Amino acid sequence: MNDGQVFIDYYNILQVSPDCDAKILESAYHYLAKRYHPDHTRSADTKKLNEVIEAYRALRDPERRADYDLLYSQNMGETFNSQSSDDVEIGEKSALDDADDHARILTLLYSKRRESAQNAGVVGYYIQDMLKCSDEHFEFHKWYLKEKGFIVLTEQGTLAITIQGVDHVISMSRTTKAERLQITQSTDPRG
């Protein structure tokens, strides 16, 4: 990358951690290439497909990746994503939708942790596909859940629930169970 060119975050394009291994990188590439391919009428996006291809080409070769990683470390502290106030939509419905999405993410990661405590990571794009949300929206979910301490990015570049996340899921389950019990008792015709 020459001076004067805008830095492109290839890891973000592929939705992987800079520490991910070649296998995760390749899996992300195949998933996203398939997702944005013109044959998929629902999610086709030629521009994004080309970005994914460019990112994968830059990162799949270990030497090119090492060169890119130097640029990455130099640029990541200097890049900011600014949005106009017109782009920001805050409302009760969107906040409730986000809360539902957070609960779905945590429930999925909780189930994965219970299945395999030592290998509890889930690749981010699988979660994003489950939620059917945009890249930006998914980044918000990841940011929020990481900042709350509910999830972590594993060494393999996957997302996993933390002990705080497990406690939160259990707490949500108890609250939901108590609410169901209260509703059942209040609607019981026997009094």
Q: What is the DSSP string of 64-94?
A: HHHHHHHHHHHHTTT------GGG----HHH
Residues of the chain with CATH 1.10.10.10: 86-187
The confidence score (pLDDT) of residue 115 equals: 93
Q: Domain 10-75's class?
A: mainly alpha
- Which CATH code, of 3.40.50.1220, 3.40.50.300, 2.120.10.30, 1.10.10.10, is assigned to 86-187? 1.10.10.10
Rounded to the nearest integer, the mean pLDDT of the chain is 80
The confidence score (pLDDT) of residue 190 equals: 55
Better pLDDT: 85 or 191 = 191
Q: Identify whether the C-beta of residue 68 lies closer than 8 Å to the C-beta of residue 58.
A: yes
Averaged pLDDT for residues 116-132: 87
**pLDDT above 70: residue 103:** yes
Q: Identify whether the C-beta of residue 6 lies closer than 8 Å to the C-beta of residue 71.
A: no
The confidence score (pLDDT) of residue 56 equals: 93
**Token couple for 136:** 């930006």
The confidence score (pLDDT) of residue 129 equals: 85
* Full-model pTM: 0.49
Query: Phi and psi of 29, rounded to 5°?
Result: -60, -50
User: For tokens 């008792």, what's the residue?
Assistant: 185
Q: Which of 23-27, 61-65, 79-83, 155-159 has the lowest average pLDDT?
A: 79-83
Residues of the chain with CATH 1.10.287.110: 10-75
| Radius of gyration in angstroms for the set of CA atoms belonging to the chain, rounded to a whole number | 20
Q: Identify whether the C-beta of residue 169 lies closer than 8 Å to the C-beta of residue 106.
A: yes
Better pLDDT: 173 or 77 = 173
